[in-house]
Amino acid sequence: MQTKSIQSYLDDHALSGELKSIANKVFNKQRITVDEGVFLYENAELGFLGAMANFVREEKNGNKTFFNRNFHIEPTNICVFTCKFCSYSRLLRQKEEGWELSASEMLDIVKKYDGQPVTEVHIVGGVHPKNESRFFC
Ligand code: SF4
């Protein structure tokens, strides 16, 4: 986001004093505090956060975006939590609707990508109540 459009963004949007103050810090390349981050989490709209995040991203990387080549392994969807946005987790008592991969099954998934130009194995899944290694999503 160019400096001119940042100013027009601030002018065009009816931001509260606190949000405007935080935005001015970000657009003037100052770090925000933990309390300001919490305030954004509780009060800011997604588009507003995106505009600030994109500004910081372009400041750091210019007009370039980098991607990795990954594949996902989801060891389990059994989870102690019930996050509202989550569509796939199952509580332990719903175990019949879930899955739990063994280490061997996960290695079999990895082997399928042998020779492929992969840069990351992304392992993510439910927080299983009986698994001491604790997979986090
Ligand atoms: S799998 Fe992740 S997102 Fe879903 S309920 Fe568990 S912790 Fe939340």
Give domain limits for the chain. Answer: 3-61, 70-123
Tell me the CA–centroid distance for residue 125 and ligand 1, in Å: 7
Which protein residue has the closest C-alpha to ligand 1 atom 4?
86
Pick the residue whose CA is nearest to atom 1 on ligand 1: 126
Tokens at residue 51, please?
A: 């505009």
CA distances to 3, 7, 15, 123, 127 from 28, in Å: 10, 11, 17, 37, 40
Ligand 1 within 6 A of CB of 134: no
C-alpha 8 to ligand 1 mean position (Å)? 39
- Please give the Cα distance from 16 to 4 (Å, whole number): 20
CA of 41 to the centre of ligand 1 (A): 19
Would you give per-residue pLDDT tens digits along the chain (137 residues)?
A: 455 566 666 776 677 788 989 999 998 999 999 999 999 999 998 988 998 999 999 999 999 988 999 999 999 999 999 999 999 999 988 889 999 999 999 999 999 999 999 999 999 999 988 865 555 55
